[in-house]
């Protein structure tokens, strides 16, 4: 194996280049994975633009799958040649939160492709404890969707979507569509999704979402109220990350309902709330920002069983050499829903 690889390195905001860099050297408890595919996440454009705090230089990319190329001597149950992915969240393992099973709150947590080098590269290293071995029949594109699916499953679990419920989702992007499909699997009887972009509206209809609102022509709050006898939805999932749509979400949820804050708003964005509304309506508000532990297992099982089909959402695949153009497309062309970067031709 050569000691040099190609990787998309962010040198500073808006300066992303495919460079030749050293292949990562693994420690005794780590695994080296030859990357086969890595999805472009909504976080990647934020990091690219400097809107999300991240160190530089940094190899971006965290929705990855590949083949195990090297295994540290202390790693068990993983061998060279295994198809694999890895939980991107690396925590200390010993603090209060880690021992409570809440490693996402570890003060020392780092994420692959966000705080340390990621997978828009020919190779990536990860702790052996974070690596999941995948079934042979899973395609590279399917494997690259495990991380975002794990994140969405956590949001669904945090909300506790119930059978027969009405779920309203704001945003028909790659994560909003996933939430719509997962809500159906969780037994929701009425799924509503609102979106401005016509290509995403078309995709939502193709996927059989019960009610698709064209927010350029209709007031989503009014339509949701109409569809629920004036009550509002039992569950509302904000999957855009903007203040106007978060305000919509608070208006859409019924008394006693649950609001899932899933879309990543800018870190310094603020909005006004009336505490009395939360109090008097007995609203439940839950946050969800990353997959962890069991949600990775659930994501692998859902994709393996074909109950969730990533190819229904993936728009296109591109080679690693075009990753800069891919991120630009993700920023500027909302007709594109999901791009997967592949290191193989």
Residue-wise pLDDT tens digits, 183-220: 999 999 999 999 999 999 999 999 999 999 999 999 99
- Going by the DSSP 8-state scheme, the letter that residue 313 receives in this structure is T
Q: What pLDDT is recorded for position 1?
A: 64
Q: Give per-residue burial for 55-94: e unless 16+ CB within 10 Å, then b.
A: eeebbbbbbbbbbbbbbbeebeebeeebbbbbbbbbbeee
- Taking residues 50-63, report their average pLDDT: 92
Is the predicted pLDDT of residue 63 greater than 80, yes or no? yes
Question: Domain 150-287 is of which CATH architecture?
Answer: 3-Layer(aba) Sandwich (3.40)
**Fold topology of 4-145+314-342:** Quinone Oxidoreductase; Chain A, domain 1 (3.90.180)
Is the predicted pLDDT of residue 2 greater than 80, yes or no? no
CA–CA gap between residue 207 and residue 203 (Å, rounded):
6
pLDDT tens-digit readout, 279-288? 999 999 999 9
CA–CA gap between residue 251 and residue 245 (Å, rounded):
10
- Taking residues 65-93, report their average pLDDT: 96
Is the predicted pLDDT of residue 345 greater than 60, yes or no? no
Specify burial of residue 10 (Cβ count, 10 A radius: 0-12, 13-18, 19+). Answer: buried
Is the predicted pLDDT of residue 265 greater than 90, yes or no? no
pTM of the predicted protein model: 0.93
The lowest-confidence range among 17-26, 45-54, 103-112 is 45-54
Is the predicted pLDDT of residue 149 greater than 80, yes or no? yes
Name the band, by pLDDT with cuts 50, 70 and 90, for residue 118.
very high
Name the band, by pLDDT with cuts 50, 70 and 90, for residue 155.
very high
Return the beta strands (E) in the chain as ranges.
4-12, 15-22, 30-39, 58-59, 63-71, 83-86, 89-90, 110-111, 123-127, 131-133, 166-170, 190-195, 211-214, 233-238, 253-261, 284-287, 316-319, 339-342
- Taking residues 6-27, report their average pLDDT: 96
The lowest-confidence range among 14-28, 108-122, 257-271, 277-291 is 257-271
- Taking residues 313-322, report their average pLDDT: 95
Residue in the structure block whose two tokens are 């609001």: 259
Domain layout of the chain by residue ranges = 4-145+314-342, 150-287
Q: What pLDDT is recorded for position 289?
A: 86
Q: How many CB atoms lie within 10 A of CB 52?
A: 17
């Amino acid at each position: 194996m050569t000691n040099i690889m190609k990787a998309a390195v962010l040198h500073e905001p808006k300066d992303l280049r495919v460079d030749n860099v050293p292949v990562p050297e693994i420690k005794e408890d780590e695994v080296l994975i030859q990357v086969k595919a890595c999805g472009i996440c909504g976080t990647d454009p934020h990091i690219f633009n400097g809107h999300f705090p991240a160190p530089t230089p940094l190899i971006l990319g965290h929705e990855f799958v590949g083949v195990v190329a090297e295994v540290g001597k202390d790693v068990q149950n993983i061998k060279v040649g295994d198809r694999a992915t890895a939980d991107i969240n690396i925590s200390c393992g010993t603090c209060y939160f880690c021992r409570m099973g809440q490693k996402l709150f570890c003060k020392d947590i780092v994420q692959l492709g966000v705080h340390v080098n990621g997978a828009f590269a020919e190779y990536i290293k990860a702790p052996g404890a974070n690596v999941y071995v995948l079934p042979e029949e899973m395609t590279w594109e399917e494997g690259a969707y495990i991380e975002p699916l794990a994140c969405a499953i956590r949001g669904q679990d945090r909300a506790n979507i119930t059978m027969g419920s009405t779920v309203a989702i704001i945003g028909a992007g790659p994560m909003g569509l996933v939430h719509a499909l997962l809500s159906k699997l969780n037994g929701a009887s009425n799924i509503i999704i609102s979106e401005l972009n016509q290509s995403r509206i078309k995709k939502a209809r193709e996927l059989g979402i019960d009610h698709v609102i064209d927010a350029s022509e209709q007031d989503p709050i009014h339509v949701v109220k109409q569809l629920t006898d004036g009550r509002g939805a039992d569950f509302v999932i904000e999957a855009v990350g903007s203040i106007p749509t978060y305000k919509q979400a608070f208006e859409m949820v019924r008394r006693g309902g649950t609001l899932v804050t899933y879309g990543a708003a800018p870190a310094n964005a603020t909005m006004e709330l009336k505490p009395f509304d939360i109090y008097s309506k007995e609203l439940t508000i839950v946050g969800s920002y990353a997959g962890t532990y069991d949600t990775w297992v659930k994501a692998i099982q859902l994709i393996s069983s074909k109950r969730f089909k990533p190819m229904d959402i993936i728009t296109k695949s591109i080679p690693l050499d075009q990753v800069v153009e891919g991120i630009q497309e993700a920023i500027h062309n909302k007709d594109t829903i999901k791009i997967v970067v592949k290191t193989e031709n």
